Amino acid sequence: MIEKIIEHLIYASRWLLAPIYLGMSIALMALTVKFFQELYHFIPAILTIEDNQLILKLLTFVDLSLVGSLTIIVMFSGYDNFVSRLDIAEGTEKLSWLGTHDYGSLKMKVASSIVAISSIHLLKVFMNVQQIANDKLVWYVLIHITFVLSAFLMGYLEKLKE
């Protein structure tokens, strides 16, 4: 009897994640506001901005969109995997990947997204390399390599499981 109650409570505790996923949607709104704030400041300067500054700004937009996409993937897949299946009504547009990511593929999506975001950040650093101290540059590269190796090892271990 006590065992059943404990198991029920443990299983029901998954719903503690639901407010976290809801909070992620609020964070996504904040990211959207930040995106349009950056765009608002960018548009008036578009004719006078230097090429390298234009590229840096575009990389910022790509970076923000990758973080937003990663947030959506984690929200939807996490909720679908750990809390409850998303009940999408018939005739409603449904994302093709929804319900197809297990925990392993979710980890790989997050890891590859982090590598992509880190790559963009590193590219932004390299475009301003003359303004960055060498010791900081070494740290940026080492951190990026750590992300790449971690993602590679996670993928390799996931492949071994199959």
Whole-prediction pTM: 0.76
Q: 89-107 as b/e, with b when 16 or more CB fall inside 10 Å?
A: eeeeeeeeeeeebeeeebb
pLDDT in the model for residue 108: 84
Q: Could you give the dihedral angle defined by the CA atoms of residues 125, 130, 133 and 134, in that order, rounded to the nearest 10 degrees?
A: 80
Main-chain dihedrals φ then ψ at residue 136, nearest 5 degrees: -65, -40
pLDDT by residue for the chain (162 residues), tens only, comes to 899 999 999 999 999 999 999 999 999 999 999 999 999 999 999 999 988 889 888 988 998 998 998 898 888 888 888 888 877 767 677 776 666 767 777 788 888 888 988 998 888 888 888 888 888 899 999 999 999 999 999 888 888 887
**Which ranges in the chain belong to alpha helices (H)?**
2-12, 18-42, 51-78, 103-127, 134-161
